[in-house]
Structure 1
Amino acid sequence: MANINCTGITKSYGGHLVIEGLNLEIPDHEFVVFLGPSGCGKSTMLRMIAGLEELTAGQVTIGGTDVTHLPPGQRGVAMVFQSYALYPHMSVADNITFGLRRLGVDKADIAQRMAHVAQLLGLEALLERKPKNLSGGQQQRVAMARAMIKTPKVFLFDEPLSNLDAKLREKLRTEIRKIHLALKTTTIFVTHDQLEAMTIADRIVLMRAGKVEQQGRPDEIFDRPASRFVADFIGSPGMNFRMGKVSRQGGLWAEAGSVRLALDAVLFGHLAEGQALELGLRPARMELASAGTLNAIRGRVVLVENMGAEGQVIVEVDGTDMSFVTKEFRGIAPGDEVHFAIRPEHIHAFDPTTGISLRQEGAEA
């Protein structure tokens, strides 16, 4: 069993507090992604779990064992870094098996493990090559094989795909996820790329300034952001935000300039007449509409971005830009007047002062 418990984790460098009192539980077999902007503490958390950074305060347990003061080699973890850190004078095979050979593991056992990880990562034809003769993606797979061959309790990935181009990142994301489904090893993956997190995680832990802003399944984080920060960080294209207020004249509405949107009474029935709010509207939840459609917004097209199967249409509304995503973008051109709409259940609203979501607790998106 390799569940991970972090209790009261605090880390400071001199007088600079990086993480304060963080608590986190990761069940056995789960694939968790630490996500957040640069400097939020996600890599520091990973390094403390690995034993590469000392805790200022708190406790880390792995599989029920207190590992807070154990060295990395005694924690049963294997780590894959952004830097491949391969020995240039060694072959792929020697790079992968170096750690086991140094520990004096039986040669037959090493050969068996080597055959397994090489097959799993598609490295059989590369075992005699030197790192300089490998592509970036191949080198990263070798680094992963070097970690996997130790059969650890926990895999730790510290932004392992950052140095790769977009196509390779997509390919390796898929491979990492497939490996996890095959091995079911408890895994923590650090990234600042929200798309990467959304595609591979069982659960996302979104961090901000050394604290957990929100955690949950990717769909929960996307559909029910707990704060404006979460809503803004997750999703591409980014969410549209507009300051407005509540109106209860003839129904329940949010008014922001020329924009007047019907609100879901289950989600927002607790809001008061005249209450200030900041609307959050996801471009992917909006669609072309005709004038008179419920929650239709009128604007003039500024730009159309072709994304292949879909297009992002950027529209000027009351002097500021909004955007929506549609498959019907090819007939739209800058200067056109368009209407686009969003269903009431997909509308988000946040407290302008605290940034906390105003949607009622437990309401579905």
Structure 2
Amino acid sequence: MANIRCVNIRKSYGGHTVIENLNLDIADQEFVVFLGPSGCGKSTMLRMIAGLEEITDGSVNIGDRDVTHLHPGERGVAMVFQSYALYPHMTVEDNIAFGLRRQKVAEEEIARRVRHVAGLLGLESLLARKPKNLSGGQQQRVAMARAMIKTPKLFLFDEPLSNLDAKLREKLRIEIRKMHLELKTTTIFVTHDQLEAMTIADRIVLMRAGEIEQQGTPAEIFDRPATRFVADFIGSPAMNFRTCLVDREGDRIELQAGSIRLQLPSGEFGELANGMKVEVGLRPSKMELATPHDKNAITGTIVLVENMGSEGQVIVDVDGQEISFVTKGFRTLEPGQPVSFSIDPASIHVFSPETGRSLRKAN
């Protein structure tokens, strides 16, 4: 078992506290991504779990052991860093096998394990090469193989794909996810890239200023953001925001801002009162070109059409402010044209301007 429990974690550097009273449970075999902007504390949390950073207060358990004060080598973890940190004078095979040789594992067993991890990561033909003769993606796979060969209880990845180009990142994301599905080892992956998090995580822990802003499955984080920060951070293109006034009469709720009129399902927004000022979020991917029967239609003038391949992002001037939406029907649209687009009421997000919290009722 390699479930993880972090209790009341605090980390300070001198008088500066970067993480305060953080609590987190990770299930055995779960793939969790720590996501957030630079400086939010995600790598610091990973390093404290690994034992590379001292915990100021609190405790960390891996399985049934309190590892708070254990040396990193005694925790049963393997870590893959952003930098590959390969030995340049060694072959790929020797780099992968280095840790096992230090543990004095039998050479026959080492050879078996090297063949196994090399097969998993497509390194069989590269075992005799030196790191200088490998691409960046190949070097990162070697670093992953070096961690995997130890058969750890816990895999820790600290932004391992940041130095790679977009195509390689996509390829290695798939390989890391496939590796997890095969090995079923508890995994924590740190990134600031929300696309990486959405594509590989069982659960996302979204951090902000040393605290957990929201945690949940990728679908929960995307479809039900708990705060304006989460809504703005997750999703590309980014969510549109408008300050609106609530017009409510009984069960009828309408959000108003200039020419915009949006109807809401009353059952999900019980707290909204007539005349209340709210911040409304509209996700571009949840909007589409309007039909004559759409109630929540917004009309404006096209400013720009961005070709994204199978879809296009359309940027529209609505009452002097820009709103973007994504559509497959972008090829017939041009700047300067009037356009109407609509959004399903279930996809409208409403936040408190004071607290930033979502005003939608919890499931």
Q: TM-score, normalised by structure 2?
A: 0.99
Amino acid at match of 2:140: Q
Q: How many Å apart are 1:82 and its aligned residue?
A: 0.2
In 2, Cα distance between equivalents of 1:187 and 1:86: 22
Equivalent residue number for residue 214 of structure 1: 214
Q: Which residue of 1 aligns with 2:59?
A: 59
Deviations 1:195-226 (A, max 9, x none): 00000000000000000000000000000000
Q: CA–CA distance in 2 between the matches of 1:223 and 1:54? A: 36
Matched position secondary structure for 1:238: coil
Deviation of residue 292 (structure 1)?
A: 5.8
Tell me, in whole angstroms, the C-alpha distance in 2 between the residues paired with 1:52 and 1:270: 46
| Deviation of 1:269 (Å) | 3.3
Deviation at 1:271, TM superposition (A): 1.0
Aligned partners of 1:227 and 1:120: how far apart in 2?
40
Report the alpha carbon displacement of residue 291 of structure 1 after superposing the two structures with TM: 5.1
Alignment of 1:1-365 (within 5 A): 1-249=1-249, 251-290=252-291, 293-362=294-363
How far does residue 293 in structure 1 lie from its aligned partner after superposition?
A: 2.3
Cα offsets for 1:277-320 (capped at 9, x unmatched)? 00000000000014562010001000000000000000011111
Give 1:191's aligned amino acid: T
Structure 1 residue 266, shift from structure 2 partner: 1.4
SS in 1 for 2:334: coil
Q: After TM superposition, where is structure 1 displaced by more than 6 Å over at least 4 residues in a row? A: none
Q: CA separation in 2, counterparts of 1:258 and 1:352?
A: 21
The answer (yes or no) to whether the contact 1:288–1:339 under 8 Å persists in 2 is: yes
Native 8 Å contact 1:33 1:189 kept in 2: yes
Rounded Cα–Cα distance in structure 2 between residues aligned with 1:157 and 1:247: 48
CA distance in structure 1 between the aligned counterparts of 2:287 and 2:67, rounded to whole angstroms: 48
Given residue 289 of structure 1, which amino acid in structure 2 is its aligned partner?
A
Give the SS at the match of 2:39: coil
- Can you list the C-alpha shifts for 1:146-184, whole angstroms capped at 9, x where unaligned? 000000000000000000000000000000000000000
Give the secondary-structure state (helix, strand or coil) at the position aligned to 1:144. Answer: helix
Instruction: Give deviations 1:51-104, integer Å, cap 9, x for gaps.
Output: 000000000000110000000000000000000000001000000001110111
Would the alpha carbon gap of residues 66 and 3 (structure 1) be closer, same or farther in structure 2, given more than 3 Å must change? Answer: same
Is 1:310–1:329's contact at 8 Å kept on the other side of the alignment? yes
1:256 to partner: Cα distance: 1.2
CA distance in 2, matches of 1:356, 1:83: 37
SS in 2 for 1:86: coil
Q: In structure 2, what residue type is equivalent to 1:128? A: A
**What is the Cα deviation at residue 45 of structure 1?**
0.1
SS at match of 1:273: coil
C-alpha distance in 2 between matches for 1:48 and 1:270: 40
Moved more, 290-299 or 171-180: 290-299
Mean CA deviation greater in 336-345 or 244-253: 244-253
One-letter amino acid of the counterpart of residue 115, structure 2: A
Q: Which ranges of structure 2 fall in alignment gaps of 5 or more residues?
A: none
Counterpart CA distance in 2 for 1:199 and 1:342 is: 25
Listed as ranges, the gaps of 5+ residues in structure 1 are none
Identity of aligned residues (%): 73
CA distance in 2, matches of 1:357, 1:328: 31
Superposed CA offset, 1:88-125 (max 9, x none): 01000000001110111111111111110000000000
Quote the Cα distance in structure 1 between the aligned partners of 2:291 and 2:219.
Answer: 29
Q: State the SS of the aligned residue for 2:141.
A: helix
Cα distance in 2 for partners of 1:166, 1:321 equals 29
Q: Secondary structure at the match of 1:252?
A: strand
Amino acid of the structure 1 residue aligned with 2:89 = H
